[in-house]
Amino acid sequence: MEFEFYYYIIFLAAGFLAGFVDSIAGGGGIITVPVLLASGMPPHIALATNKLQSSFGSFTASMNFVKKGLVDLKEVYLGIIFTFIGAMIGTKIILLLDASILQKIIPFMLIVIFLYTLFNPKFGKLDKKSRLSIPIFFLIFGLLIGFYDGFFGPGTGTFWTIALVTLMGFNLKKATATTKVMNFTSNIVSLGVFLFSGNVLFLVGILMGFGQIFGAFVGSSMVVKKDVSFIRGFFLFIVGITILKLVYDSWLK
């Protein structure tokens, strides 16, 4: 597909903004997917290209968090394995099925998460005792959320963060860092499946990817420096915007 020059500027800017937002609170897809669709791309090509560009950002944020010591890969390797498996299954199925049912259900799940976080001011401020063992947690949620990200996607980072805080007892900084590692895993797996389907626009995806790299580095660095209250506020804002976007797409269009 060919685009006017100004579209490439928009793609680059959207990648930067999405990388910044996604590294702090997730939800970068609510920026990039509409931009890709607005350019005239068919939905399956937009979703595939989005996986390419988002992989740049999630990788950059993950490595920055690992380097700064907010996540230890030895602690989360089981999550990577099971997320890989779940995302592989989910992406293969989305090429065969319609995700419209999930599209209508997910906004209500996100509303529950939003309200829980809003009315729980101590959410993610301190580490707490884990309610599940690490292997059991990553077996369940790696498969479930990995499958969801491969199959549909919006809100994936939110689901990981809320699960890590409430069930594993992580503080919000550690949960955000771990979420990006899992996001990168499911992104790269989905991208691999989409590559075989021939739906990726490489020029657009790589251009947006460069924007993602810079945005993700700036955003993840802010997570390291800022306190939990900043991350919580940003998290609530992004979840709220995601809910509005999904409700509009699913019920009001």
Q: Give the pLDDT mean for 182-210.
A: 91
With contact defined as beta carbons under 8 Å apart, do 90 and 149 qualify?
A: yes
pLDDT at residue 219 greater than cutoff 80: yes
Place 53 in a pLDDT band, splitting at 50, 70 and 90: very high
pLDDT at residue 99 greater than cutoff 70: no
The predicted model scores a pTM of 0.85
pLDDT at residue 109 greater than cutoff 90: no
Res 7: pLDDT: 93
Helix (H, G, I), strand (E, B) or coil at 4: coil
Amino acid letter, residue 109: M
Q: Compute the distance between CA of residue 23 and CA of residue 181 in angstroms, rounded to an integer.
A: 10
The whole-chain average pLDDT of the chain stands at: 88
- Token pair 């939990």 is at which residue? 228
Q: Give the pLDDT mean for 153-166.
A: 88
Least confident of 14-23, 42-51, 115-124, 203-212: 115-124
The structural domain count of the chain equals: 1
Place 123 in a pLDDT band, splitting at 50, 70 and 90: confident
Range of the domain at 58: 5-252
Res 29: pLDDT: 81
Place 197 in a pLDDT band, splitting at 50, 70 and 90: confident
pLDDT at residue 97 greater than cutoff 70: no
